């Protein structure tokens, strides 16, 4: 049990960007950053969210363009390609809705906190 917990902690530390090793196993990082190790880069949440929304929008626009080309009788556009593109756009949109719902729920939970 302790070895599983140690491995889980090591994987969490690796995800944070630590570089030191446990024993002789280079895959097992130590907790905390090693001296001189660069700090992990900061991530701008707004930029990530904006990029995701833009990608969903692009997928929907691409699917719409393919559907329109198929409706106009374009010989290089197959029904299968149109359907796959539409499904990809739908899945991306549903994922974005799920993220939005989680953000709204988190906002509501934070605003209901008692201070």
Indicate the burial class of 71 (C-beta count within 10 angstroms; 0-12, 13-18, 19 or more): exposed
CA angle, residues 99, 103, 108, in degrees to nearest 5: 150
Report yes or no: 18 and 34 within 8 Å, Cβ to Cβ.
yes
Q: Average pLDDT, stretch 35-43?
A: 68
**Amino acid 115: pLDDT:** 77
Closest CA to 30 of 19, 39, 41, 40: 19
What pLDDT does residue 58 have? Answer: 96
Kindly tell me if the per-residue pLDDT of 113 is higher than 80: yes
Quote the CA–CA distance of 24 and 21 in Å, as a whole number: 7
Tell me which residue has tokens 């756009």: 89
Report pLDDT digits (tens) over 44-94. Answer: 888 998 999 999 999 999 999 999 999 999 999 999 999 999 999 999 999
CA nearest 60: which of 106, 95, 27, 26? 95
């Amino acid at each position: 049990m302790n070895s599983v917990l140690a491995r889980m902690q090591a994987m969490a530390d690796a995800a944070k960007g630590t570089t030191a090793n446990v024993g002789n196993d280079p895959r097992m990082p130590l907790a905390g950053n090693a001296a001189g190790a660069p700090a992990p880069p900061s991530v701008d949440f707004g930029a990530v969210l904006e990029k995701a929304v833009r990608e969903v929008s692009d997928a929907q626009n691409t699917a719409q363009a393919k559907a329109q080309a198929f409706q106009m009788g374009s010989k290089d556009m197959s029904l299968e390609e149109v359907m796959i593109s539409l499904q990809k756009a739908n899945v991306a949109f549903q994922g974005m809705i799920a993220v939005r719902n989680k953000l709204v729920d988190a906002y509501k939970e934070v605003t209901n906190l008692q201070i």
